[in-house]
Amino acid sequence: MDIDNGKCWQNSKKDSWRTTLLLAYQSLGVVYGDLSTSPLYVYKSTFAEDIHHSETNEEIFGVLSFVFWTLTLVPLFKYVFIVLRADDNGEGGTVALYSSICRHAKVSLLPNRQISDESLSTYKLEQSPDREYNSKVRMLLEKYKFLHTALLILVLLGTCMVIGDGLLTPAISVFSAVSGLELSMSKEHHQYAMIPITCFILVCLFALQHYGTHRVGFFFAPIVLLWLICISALGLYNIIHWNPHVYQALSPYYMLKFFKKTKKQGWMSLGGILLCITGSEAMFADLGHFSYAAIQIAFTFLVYPALILAYMGQAAYLSRNHQNADQIGYYVSVPESLRWPVLAIAILASVVGSQAIISGTFSIINQSQSLGCFPRVKVVHTSDKIHGQIYIPEINWILMILCIAVTIGFQDIKHMGNASGLAVMAVMLVTTCLTSLVIILCWHKPPIIALLFLLFFGSIELLYFSASLVKFREGAWLPILLALFLLTIMFVWHYATIKKYEYDLHNKVSLEWLLALGPTLGICRVPGIGLVFTDLTSGIPANFSRFVTNLPAFHRILVFVCVKFVPVPFVPPAERYLVGRVGPASLRSYRCIVRYGYRDVHQDIDSFESDLVQRLADFIQFDWCRSTCRGNCCNEDHASASERSSGEHRLAVVGNMELSRSLVFEVDETMQQESVSCGFQTVESIGDIVEMSAPKERRVRFAIEDPENPSEVEMRQELEDLIAGQQSGTAFILGHSHVQAKQGSSVFKRLAVNFGYNFLRRNCRGPDVVLKVPPASLLEVGMVYVV
């Protein structure tokens, strides 16, 4: 028996390793395409203007030493061994770091937060001993509201720079790959062929995006693997053939000699050297598609050695061939008989690297949209099987136009490299700052460790960032201008969204007010289900009260739906729906809170509607059973009566878990919901949150034989009303808002709200398009928000 168990354990261990190695192989095409093509342009960008290759070889050896130690310290030590461990339930990236920090400290500016969100299984918090330094840092962050805003701006800045990298990387990767033609063509022909060929490849690349990565993804890993084998073999050949002693240049001593000879010009050339680590952020950003072990194995044992050999081989060739000092580039070190095959592989590898950063740009924009920090755009999920593969049409064509404009405008690797280098280092600096907070708040390490991490890696990145910033007029202005433009758009959108939520919060009405208007206005109920979408988790939204007072009729089944985002990557389907009553059972009015993570795939409207009706039916059965059980206890009867008179009822987490796993979360009736950036607070008017079990079969049951209990009769009648409402049709009631700044507001606020936000709202996708509501079922209620 023990022998059999040992064999099973060995087999499972083998399967685990096989899966890890398979993921490591697949990660080559998605994660390392950009990083692996960096040898195409690093030396060419470094020796473009500031320094020149001389007979002493001090410059080329110094650059090689810088490249080696930069690749070792930043991608290998920082990302592979430290930053990848700061994942958020397996997800990586800037938004994942921000999400982890928001869960461990109350610094989030997301609206409609609830304490019940903390009961989610993915809302895990690291348990730690009560340490004074940890609580002091957390209290400092939570105390000052401007720190919340500063943290959000830092995250948005990193997001903007990732988008900028998504614009610049395809241009420089494809352009540098195509530049190999200059050795096989005359200068006149090459000058007129480079730009059209690059633009043609870019147009084809962006035109194929709507097919999705998964359709051509199986080609990516073999291409990058072939490219890595190619550059490492060529590097090894150049080392052996030209200069076997080039390994001595890996010593840090050559960095000192480099600075001693080149001085200020050497420091300015660091803007080209830093391009050797472009694409390193993809290891962390794409962590959710693979695993920590897979990415670590692929980089440590394949990508890192191949890149080092490639850079050493180029340095070995250049150290013995000074006649090509004016034409430093990757292809000069390739034997002439192999240039055309290498050129073809390089173009394919550059396309793969560009594809990875474009897909990453789509993902981070979708995450920013989930945080309420980006105007609504259409998100198309290109794969039903592979999670996270999306396509955003508007962003795709904008990126294509800007990418072609950069190629035509700059027309050389030097300016593109300066622009790309600044964007890359800005993202890395943001990641370093956020990771230092994660070390304190999430890992519960002493602040001195976080400070050492920040100073060590931050000083390296600041050195490179300063060298890029000096090149402001030579291309570095582009990512800064783009980041300021995007940051303004994102912050204006987020600010106006928060102000709209605060307006709704102040102007919501109680159910008693609505019921009191019934006899006065003569409100009638029409057949069907009315889904009223709102950002509020309690109370009646102002746009619905406005609708009822002007048109005194609403549907027999009324559901107030709040689609909200929780600072977690995923919300399990069994925990997605929070359902409760609004008013007495006879009113047939409910509240449903639908929770999504920032990487969740939204349901299409048909499945959402049927799923919502099923969850309501499950809740109705559960609620009547709960009421029947409570009838035996007078105290609970009294509590239930007071609860029903208050209008708002307990919310149940309707899922498909077993009854044995049901949990009850008692929440004080006076608990307070976290407010947004202002200082006011609101009362959360639910009694408790109950996690219940739903029937495994996805249909409503009415098999109640000869019901003698009056509650069973009422439950059957309520279920029949729900099905009748679904058969009559569902109407989606959404607000059509116009926001304007109140009188006396500052000039900046009036510009931001009256012009900026309203312009974005009119030119972006409406909520009906995002929710995919059919036009025949849409009912929009106009509302003016004075904020």
* Strand residues in 479-533 grouped as ranges (E): 524-533
pLDDT at 687: 34
pLDDT at 20: 87
Residues 487 and 373 sit within 8 Å (Cβ to Cβ):
no
Residues 406 and 416 sit within 8 Å (Cβ to Cβ):
yes
* Strand residues in 291-386 grouped as ranges (E): 380-381
Please give the DSSP secondary-structure letter assigned to residue 74.
I
Closest C-alpha to 47, from 39, 29, 59: 59
pLDDT at 622: 85
Q: How large is the greatest C-alpha to C-alpha distance in the chain, in angstroms?
A: 102
Closest C-alpha to 289, from 154, 179, 382, 388: 388
For 714-725, how does the pLDDT look when each residue is reduced to its tens digit (9 = 90+)?
A: 888 999 999 999
Give, rounded to a whole angstrom, the gap between the first and last alpha carbons of the chain: 72
- Bridge partners (DSSP) listed for residue 532: 560, 733
Mean pLDDT along residues 632-658: 53
- Quick one: pLDDT band at residue 487, thresholds 50, 70, 90? very high
In the chain, the amino acid numbered 278 is T
Three-class SS of residue 578?
Answer: strand
In the chain, the amino acid numbered 602 is H
Burial (CB < 10 A; 0-12, 13-18, 19+), residue 515, is middle
Is the pLDDT confidence value at 573 over 90?
A: no
Give me the phi and psi of 79, to 5 degrees please. Answer: -80, -55
- Only one residue has tokens 């957390």, namely 138
For 365-399, how does the pLDDT look when each residue is reduced to its tens digit (9 = 90+)?
A: 888 888 888 998 888 877 665 566 778 889 999 99
Three-class SS of residue 207?
Answer: helix
For 288-345, how does the pLDDT look when each residue is reduced to its tens digit (9 = 90+)?
A: 778 888 899 999 999 999 999 999 999 999 998 876 656 788 888 899 889 899 999 9
Query: Cα separation of 111 and 371, whole Å?
Result: 9
Is the pLDDT confidence value at 50 over 80?
A: no
> 670: which residues sit within 8 A by CB, 6+ positions away?
683
- Only one residue has tokens 């200068």, namely 187
Tell me what the pLDDT averaged over the chain comes to.
81
Mean pLDDT along residues 92-104: 88
Residues 173 and 37 sit within 8 Å (Cβ to Cβ):
yes
Mean pLDDT along residues 278-288: 85
Query: Cα separation of 735 and 611, whole Å?
Result: 23
pTM of the model: 0.84
Q: Which residues of 560-599 are buried (b: 16+ CB within 10 A; e: fewer)?
A: bbbbbbbbbbbbbebbbbbbbbbbebebbbbbbbbbbbbb
**Beta-strand relationship, 730-740 and 524-533:** parallel
Is the pLDDT confidence value at 516 over 60?
A: yes
Which pair of structure tokens corresponds to residue 571?
Answer: 């919300």
Burial (CB < 10 A; 0-12, 13-18, 19+), residue 374, is buried
Mean pLDDT along residues 666-676: 34
Query: Cα separation of 462 and 258, whole Å?
Result: 19
Mean pLDDT along residues 150-165: 92
Report which listed range, 96-100, 124-128, 623-627, 677-681, is most confident: 96-100
In the chain, the amino acid numbered 82 is I
The per-residue DSSP string of 423-480 comes to HHHHHHHHHHHHHHHHHHHTS---HHHHHHHHHHHHHHHHHHHHHHHTTGGGTTHHHH
Closest C-alpha to 781, from 761, 767, 770: 767
The per-residue DSSP string of 114-167 comes to -GGGGGSTT---------HHHHHHHHHHHH-HHHHHHHHHHHHHHHHHHHHHHH
**Rounded to an integer, what is the distance from CA 750 to the centroid of its chain?**
30
Mean pLDDT along residues 497-515: 83
pLDDT at 65: 95
Residues 95 and 159 sit within 8 Å (Cβ to Cβ):
yes
Lowest-pLDDT choice from 165-174, 457-466, 695-704, 751-760: 695-704
Mean pLDDT along residues 185-193: 68
Is the pLDDT confidence value at 665 over 60?
A: no
pLDDT at 112: 63
> 302: which residues sit within 8 A by CB, 6+ positions away?
24, 28, 228
- Quick one: pLDDT band at residue 756, thresholds 50, 70, 90? very high
The per-residue DSSP string of 647-706 comes to SEEEEEEEE---GGG-EEEE--TT-EEPP-SSS--EE----EEEEEEPPSSSS------S
Mean pLDDT along residues 222-247: 94
Lowest-pLDDT choice from 129-133, 390-394, 761-765: 129-133
Which pair of structure tokens corresponds to residue 84?
Answer: 């990848």
pLDDT at 428: 94
For 25-39, how does the pLDDT look when each residue is reduced to its tens digit (9 = 90+)?
A: 888 888 898 899 999
Burial (CB < 10 A; 0-12, 13-18, 19+), residue 728, is middle
Query: Cα separation of 165 and 359, whole Å?
Result: 12
Report which listed range, 56-60, 308-312, 697-701, 776-780, is most confident: 308-312
Mean pLDDT along residues 515-520: 68
Is the pLDDT confidence value at 216 over 60?
A: no
Query: Cα separation of 308 and 360, whole Å?
Result: 26
Mean pLDDT along residues 504-519: 77
Query: Cα separation of 453 and 431, whole Å?
Result: 12
Is the pLDDT confidence value at 552 over 60?
A: yes
Percent of the chain with pLDDT over 90: 31
